[in-house]
Amino acid sequence: MKSSTLRRSIVWLALALPLALGGCGVNTIPTKDEQAKAAWADVQNQYQRRSDLIPNLVSTVQGYAQQERGVLVDVTNARAKATQVQVNASTITDPAAFARFEQAQDQLSGVLGHLMSINEKYPDLKSNENFMELQSELEGTENRIAISRRDYNEAVRSYNTELRTFPGVLWASTLYHDAKPMNLFAASQGAQSAPQVNFNISPPGGSGAGATPGSAPPK
């Protein structure tokens, strides 16, 4: 009889233990970790989407504005640099690697803004159907990048907070001692957002409303 009672107690304990642990937040860290990694993957996908658009964009602009060789070279070089930055799952917990990735992408954003602003000097380019389509795709991609960065930052803040607050800090120091804080995208002048790549046409006699921040007004 005692043996049977002991076995029943063990069974009930085995059933109750996962529920008890789940209720005290033992699964919260890995859950938030996966959410942040999924958000990071979306950031990478959007940057890749932008990178894939650039060769056709550069080729189209080159056909109408060959004298803008310096701008075209800058864009090509910035794309190559951004592509060469090694990115993997550890990037988001490595401050130096994350900074290299962010800086390369922000630099590419800046030169792209300069490239898009030169269309003011070339009416034929502005009316080119292929250029207009690429311009629209790039603008949409910049919006997606801005949203994916925002969503990533929100997921990372939630994850990092869990590592530092109770009961997460308890589990982080025991079961998940390998868990590291993740890096956030900083809001900088070159940060990804649609306004950084301005596609508006300046009004006649305007003062360069179509130029990106830090660039010279279109002539």
Query: In CATH, what number is assigned to the domain containing residue 47?
Result: 1.20.1440.20
Higher-confidence residue of 178 and 89: namely: 178
Q: Is residue 170 part of a domain?
A: yes
In 3D, which of 115, 33, 129 has the Cα closest to residue 74? 115
CB atoms within 10 A of CB 112: 25
- Interval 149-167 mean pLDDT: 97
Distance CA(208)–CA(215), nearest Å, equals: 10
What is the 3 state secondary structure string of 7-20?
A: HHHHHHHHHHHHHH
Q: Is residue 21 part of a domain?
A: no
pTM of the model: 0.76
pLDDT, residue 204, reads 36
Q: Is residue 101 part of a domain?
A: yes
- Residue showing tokens 């990178």: 51
Distance CA(89)–CA(24), nearest Å, equals: 28
The total of structural domains in the chain comes to: 1
Angle subtended by helix axes 129-164 and 95-117, to nearest 10:
160
Q: Is residue 24 part of a domain?
A: no
Q: Is residue 18 part of a domain?
A: no
Per the CB < 8 A criterion, the answer to whether 143 and 194 are in contact is: yes
Q: Is residue 3 part of a domain?
A: no
Q: Is residue 107 part of a domain?
A: yes
DSSP 204: T
Residue 183 has pLDDT above 80, yes or no: yes
Residue 186 lies in domain: 29-196
Average per-residue pLDDT in the chain? 82
Q: Is residue 2 part of a domain?
A: no
